[in-house]
């Protein structure tokens, strides 16, 4: 915080504190009601066996956790899927976004058209994007495989093969979301003063050196924000997978968010779904704390 | 400070306003009736019945709400859990044991048996099986619909093949024959497949509806009370036949492809009578045949759907009255055009055979015979769990190199954990 | 203008961009062509974009099949309300977290950030019962309240805070000398300066609400109340089978107006991102 310190009276500090809390209170109160409260409730639910349809619940202690962590093989499988999805999507998305941004950050004839093209999927309903792509990715008659056939490649049955299905949902998701990151990077690139680059060029730096030593470090804050947005988005992915593969084939694309939804609203196992949610929450908090610690350690440098 | 308060107040006010504007208040005399059909023909028929109910109940309107089939059970459950239950609704046979067991359906036995001229005994006992528990009645089937074969007559004639119904009359209509025909009729260049699974969902939600007709005619079963039958020799032989159609003959629409009978992109399919409504604008000639015979039997499989009243509904008595009205002999005869009835008097009457203008009496006879000989598709109290455990295992079957027997062993292991 | 060294370099430049653009453009062209094809043709030819039979009725049927205009309006007004509400709440809170020193602000920030990553699936079950208790089932209220106060609202707050942190404090000092209250400084000085950030956060929030799928799926049962994403997946026949031609027609209707707005405003959008704190 770079704020000037309160100069004179304690009452000013008190007034500041009141103002501060008043400013944050609307979102904090809503956050308590619609997020923290429900989260506490989830912990309660997770200790019960609760059927949404019969509306009967019995206290079962830690059974749901034991079930998820040691009995039911699905959980680890699903967790692995979620991590694979994020690990595939985040780097691919960011690399493509940066490449496109560098290509499109300077004006040339048609630049607006290309920017629009790459941004267009972002404003398209995810539902529509998933539907069109599931058509294009059909086994034989799909446009993708027909195009591949032209160059002599016999494409797989994308959405029906457990490994290819994950690949297909990741790539089509990248196409859907990369435009927003691209725009963020373009914005960041445009705000870097041109003098820096020109000065380096005059000293004989190559294009790659300019990028590595000047552009990339200056993009670091943007990269951080983009990474947060993208990681969050990848952990939350639901509709895309729900519509393209329904979690299949052979549960190959079943991710945590989808699994929780399915357990609660299709099999009515509210208690089990809640236990899954709590486990997910603990994992995410652990991840966040680790990040904070790592960041603090690296700061002195 | 006051500005802040004002703003916050305004915000709360505007949220409340948005809530008030969007909240929908139910009319006291409106019955909500959920269905999964969005077909104009079906809905106008249903609305016609609701209009008839007005003669005795002038203040009552029935609002039919369409919920897409794929989301149906889940949405109904959410409405029940969310305290916004419909008064009445359609329910599929696969959900019957779960819903009856959960106690969410109203017992309408008293109303039905107490309604003048209802003639409860006329409802066939076998059709009522799933919906009765002792003296309690939790629903009345409006559709007891056998799976039948639809074939594209134009394609058959162009290929010079004998029609399936002609073959059936001679006793030569077998699954092997269907397989041959499908292979002969497949034409990759014009985008025509030989055979389409039930509603094209044979690799997803309709996997059992697609396989059970074959399995039963080979003498197998899906499961009994305590054992899974899907990996029996009979079932393996039956499923292998279908597997070969997909991957050896490449005549059946494979997983991940679209090829719809009703748009002329598949020569044969297995489904139910109500799909006739999709052939209204068909640009080809079509016909109906019974299910093919297998080595063991000519099995007929019935898919069933019933009208139920929900126990949580706000107007249970009125809902039960409407259920009784809708399933009386007169209205069942009307619905029989699309939905083969559970009432023997209607089924046996000549009027049934000519109830649908698009279907000839001979074709309707095929349907009636299917009902007479048929057994309902498999169900279970834990059906949602079985279904979800089974489907990922079935996914492994839909590959060219899959070992049918070994894969079915896995399917059975998954099924048995829920029996 | 970027200058190309030679016509060859220029050709390569455009060619590689064009190839990259294929997976982004082709789905749109496919959608537009599917929107005027009969259902059967969509099945039979997935690569040919030119319809053999033009079926313009698809567009009329979109509106007769579902209350599509109403659903369109629902999506628009919900996204607008969510965006306006989120902007107000998040700029207020973001400003306080960046600019005002008060006890507990650090802890609050930490709690909010840890909520960023939580999928809605986690809290949707209790929220389902909460909304039932409030009597808000089958209304649009959950679709408005949950994004505003859930992780999307938190994300917006975080982004606004980042922006306010970067704002030079001197700008405020003058206002304070003039005797403006905290709210006055926020409203009259900080907020007008944060227009680019508001635009950026507004766009992200609007798109989030516009694409919302799970909440409508869980909370809405009345077709009149559906929003576009749910409505689009709802063009199915009596047996739950998709009516592709109608889905395509409806989808193109849902996408094209937004795209036109984007093209018209694209320079401003990029600029607002460039000027906003979102860049860091």
Looking at per-residue pLDDT, the higher value among C70 and C239 belongs to C70
| β-bridge partners, B35 | B66
Query: What secondary structure letter does DSSP report for B278?
Result: G
For chain C, positions 10-29, list CB contacts with chain B under 8 A.
none
- DSSP strand E in B84-200: where? 88-92, 132-133, 136-137, 140-146, 148-152, 193-196
Per-domain boundaries in chain B:
29-146+303-376, 148-302+380-416
Quickly name the fold that domain A71-298 has.
MetI-like fold (1.10.3720)
Tell if the pTM clears 0.90, that is, is over it.
no
| Strand-strand pairing, B193-196 and B88-92 | unpaired
Q: Averaged over B179-186, what is the pLDDT?
A: 95
Residues B268 and B260: their CA atoms lie apart, in Å, by 9
Nearest to C122 among A184, A281, A287 (CB): A281
Q: Do B191 and C43 touch (CB under 8 A)?
A: yes
Q: Do B77 and A53 touch (CB under 8 A)?
A: yes
Q: Cα–Cα distances in Å, from B398 out to A95, B29, B393, C249?
A: 35, 50, 10, 32
Size of interface A-B (CB pairs under 8 A): 74
Q: In this predicted structure, what is the pLDDT of residue A164? A: 92
- Tens digit of pLDDT for each residue in C99-110? 888 888 888 988
| Equal fold, B29-146+303-376 vs B148-302+380-416 | yes
Quickly name the fold that domain B29-146+303-376 has.
D-Maltodextrin-Binding Protein; domain 2 (3.40.190)
B1–chain A nearest CA distance, Å = 8
Q: Quick one: pLDDT band at residue C122, thresholds 50, 70, 90?
A: confident
For chain A, positions 259-278, list CB contacts with chain C under 8 A.
260-261, 264-265, 270, 273-274, 277
Q: Does C220 touch chain B (CB under 8 A)?
A: no
Q: Does domain B148-302+380-416 have CATH number 3.40.50.720?
A: no
Extract the tokens encoding C15.
């060619």
Q: Cα–Cα distances in Å, from A275 out to A242, A252, A253, A264?
A: 21, 22, 21, 11
Q: Averaged over A169-174, what is the pLDDT?
A: 96
Find the angle CA(A99)-CA(A101)-CA(A106) to the nearest 5 degrees.
120
Nearest to A117 among C21, C129, C149 (CB): C21
Q: Do A138 and B8 touch (CB under 8 A)?
A: no
Say if residue C32's pLDDT is above 60: yes
Say if residue B74's pLDDT is above 50: yes
- Tens digit of pLDDT for each residue in A252-270? 899 988 888 888 887 888 8
Minimum mean pLDDT among A2-11, A109-118, B323-332: which range? Answer: A2-11
Percent of chain B having pLDDT more than 70? 93
Q: In this predicted structure, what is the pLDDT of residue C277? A: 52
Q: Does C179 touch chain A (CB under 8 A)?
A: no
Q: Averaged over B122-150, what is the pLDDT?
A: 89
Residues C196 and A145: their CA atoms lie apart, in Å, by 43
ipTM, two decimals, is 0.84
Q: Averaged over C111-140, what is the pLDDT?
A: 84
What residues in B contact C145, CB-CB < 8 Å? Answer: 15
Per-domain boundaries in chain A:
4-45, 71-298
Minimum mean pLDDT among A4-18, A152-166, C17-31: which range? Answer: A4-18
Q: Quick one: pLDDT band at residue A300, thresholds 50, 70, 90?
A: very low
- Tens digit of pLDDT for each residue in B272-308? 888 888 888 788 999 999 999 999 877 888 888 999 9
- Tens digit of pLDDT for each residue in A218-238? 888 788 778 877 887 888 788
Q: Quick one: pLDDT band at residue B141, thresholds 50, 70, 90?
A: very high
Extract the tokens encoding C13.
């430049």
Q: Cα–Cα distances in Å, from C80 out to B112, C86, C274?
A: 51, 10, 23
Extract the tokens encoding B82.
């969310």
Chain centroid offset of residue B57 CA: 31
Q: CB of B93 within 8 A of CB of B376?
A: yes
Nearest to C232 among A128, A183, A287 (CB): A128
Dihedral of alpha carbons A251, A255, A258, A260, sign: positive
- Tens digit of pLDDT for each residue in B78-108? 888 877 789 999 998 888 888 888 889 999 9
- Tens digit of pLDDT for each residue in B21-70? 444 444 458 899 999 887 778 889 999 999 999 988 888 999 998 887 77
Q: CB of C33 within 8 A of CB of C50?
A: yes
Residues C196 and A223: their CA atoms lie apart, in Å, by 19
Residues A253 and C140: their CA atoms lie apart, in Å, by 31
């Amino acid at each position: 915080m770079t704020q000037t310190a309160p100069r004179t009276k304690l009452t000013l500090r008190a007034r500041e504190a009141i103002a501060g809390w008043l400013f944050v209170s609307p979102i904090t109160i809503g956050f308590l009601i619609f997020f923290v409260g429900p989260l506490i409730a989830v912990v309660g639910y997770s200790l019960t066996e609760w059927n949404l349809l019969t509306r009967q619940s019995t206290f079962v202690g830690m059974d749901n956790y034991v079930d998820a962590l040691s009995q039911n093989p699905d959980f680890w499988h699903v967790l692995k899927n979620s991590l694979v999805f994020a690990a595939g999507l985040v780097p691919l998305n960011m690399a493509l976004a940066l490449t496109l941004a560098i290509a499109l950050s300077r004006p040339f004839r048609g630049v607006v058209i290309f920017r629009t093209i790459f941004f267009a999927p972002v404003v398209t309903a995810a539902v529509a994007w998933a539907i069109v792509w599931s058509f294009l990715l059909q086994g034989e008659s799909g446009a993708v495989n027909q195009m591949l056939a032209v160059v002599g490649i016999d494409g797989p049955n994308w959405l029906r093969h457990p490994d290819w299905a994950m690949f297909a949902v990741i790539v089509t998701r990248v196409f859907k979301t990369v435009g927003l990151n691209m725009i963020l990077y373009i914005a960041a690139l445009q705000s870097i003063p041109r003098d820096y680059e020109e000065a380096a060029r005059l000293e004989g730096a190559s294009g790659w050196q300019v990028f590595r030593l000047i552009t990339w470090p200056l993009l670091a804050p943007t990269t951080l924000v983009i990474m947060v947005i993208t990681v969050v988005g990848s952990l939350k992915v639901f509709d895309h997978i729900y519509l393209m593969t329904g979690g299949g084939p052979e549960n190959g694309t079943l991710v945590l968010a989808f699994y929780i939804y399915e357990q609660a609203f299709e099999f009515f196992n509210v208690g089990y779904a809640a236990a899954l949610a709590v486990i997910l929450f603990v994992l995410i908090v652990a991840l966040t704390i680790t990040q904070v610690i790592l960041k603090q350690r690296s700061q002195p440098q | 400070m006051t500005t802040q308060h004002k703003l916050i107040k305004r915000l709360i006010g505007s949220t409340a306003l948005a809530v008030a504007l969007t909240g929908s208040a139910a009319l006291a005399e409106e019955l909500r009736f959920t269905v999964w059909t969005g077909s104009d023909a079906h809905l106008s028929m249903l609305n016609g019945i609701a209009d008839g109910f007005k003669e005795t109940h002038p203040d009552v309107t029935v609002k039919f709400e369409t919920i897409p089939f794929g989301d149906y059970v889940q949405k109904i459950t959410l409405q029940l859990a969310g305290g916004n239950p419909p008064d009445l609704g359609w329910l599929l046979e696969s959900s019957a044991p779960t819903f009856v067991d959960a106690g969410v359906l109203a017992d309408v036995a008293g109303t039905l048996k107490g309604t003048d001229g209802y003639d409860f005994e006329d409802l066939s006992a076998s059709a009522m099986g799933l919906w009765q528990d002792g003296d309690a009645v939790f629903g009345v089937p409006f559709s007891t619909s056998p799976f039948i074969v639809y074939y594209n007559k134009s394609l058959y004639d162009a290929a010079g093949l004998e029609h399936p119904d002609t073959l059936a009359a001679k006793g030569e209509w077998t699954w092997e024959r269907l397989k041959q025909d499908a292979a002969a009729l497949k034409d990759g260049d014009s985008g025509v497949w030989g055979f389409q699974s039930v509603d094209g969902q044979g690799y997803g939600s309709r996997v059992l509806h697609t396989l059970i007709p074959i399995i039963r005619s080979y003498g197998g079963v899906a499961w009994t009370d305590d054992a899974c039958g899907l990996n029996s020799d009979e079932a393996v032989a039956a499923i292998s036949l279908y597997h070969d159609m997909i991957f050896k003959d490449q005549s059946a629409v494979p997983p991940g492809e679209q090829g719809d009978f009703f748009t002329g992109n598949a020569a044969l399919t297995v489904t139910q009578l109500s799909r006739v409504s999709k052939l209204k604008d068909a640009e080809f000639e079509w016909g109906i045949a019974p299910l093919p015979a297998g080595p063991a039997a000519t099995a007929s499989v019935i898919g069933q759907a019933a009208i139920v009243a929900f126990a949580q509904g706000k107007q249970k008595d009125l809902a039960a009255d409407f259920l009784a009205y809708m399933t009386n002999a007169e209205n069942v005869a009307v619905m029989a055009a699309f939905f083969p009835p559970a009432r023997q008097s209607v089924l046996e009457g000549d009027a049934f055979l000519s109830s649908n203008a698009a279907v000839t009496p001979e074709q309707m006879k095929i349907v009636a015979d299917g009902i007479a000989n048929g057994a309902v598709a498999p169900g279970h109290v834990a059906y949602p769990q079985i279904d979800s455990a089974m489907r990922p295992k079935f996914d492994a079957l839909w590959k060219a190199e899959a070992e049918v027997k070994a894969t079915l062993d896995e399917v059975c292991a998954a099924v048995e954990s829920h029996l | 203008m970027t200058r190309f060294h030679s016509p060859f370099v220029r050709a390569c430049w455009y060619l590689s961009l064009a190839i990259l653009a294929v997976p982004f453009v082709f789905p749109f062209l496919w959608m537009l062509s599917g929107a005027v094809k009969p259902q059967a043709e969509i099945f039979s030819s997935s690569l040919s974009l030119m319809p053999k039979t033009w079926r313009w009725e698809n567009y009329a049927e979109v509106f007769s099949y579902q209350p599509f205009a109403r659903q369109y309006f629902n999506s628009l007004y919900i996204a607008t309300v969510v965006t306006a509400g989120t902007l107000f709440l998040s700029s207020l809170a973001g400003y306080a977290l960046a600019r005002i020193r008060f006890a507990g602000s650090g802890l609050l920030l930490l709690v909010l950030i840890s909520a960023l990553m939580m999928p809605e699936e986690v809290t949707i079950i209790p929220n389902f019962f909460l909304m039932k208790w409030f009597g808000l089932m089958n209304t649009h209220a959950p679709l408005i309240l949950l994004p505003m106060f859930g992780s999307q609202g938190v994300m917006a707050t975080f982004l606004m805070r980042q922006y306010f942190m970067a704002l030079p404090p001197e700008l405020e000092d003058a206002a304070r000398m003039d005797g403006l209250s905290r709210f006055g400084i926020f409203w009259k000085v900080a907020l007008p300066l944060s227009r680019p950030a508001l635009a950026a956060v507004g766009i992200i929030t609007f798109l989030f609400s516009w694409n919302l799928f799970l909440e409508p799926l869980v909370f809405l049962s009345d077709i009149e109340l559906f929003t576009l994403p749910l409505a689009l997946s709802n063009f199915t026949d009596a047996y739950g089978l998709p009516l592709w031609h109608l889905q395509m027609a409806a989808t193109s209707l849902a996408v094209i107006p937004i795209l036109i707005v984007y093209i018209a405003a694209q320079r401003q959008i990029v600029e607002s991102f460039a000027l906003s704190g979102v860049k860091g």
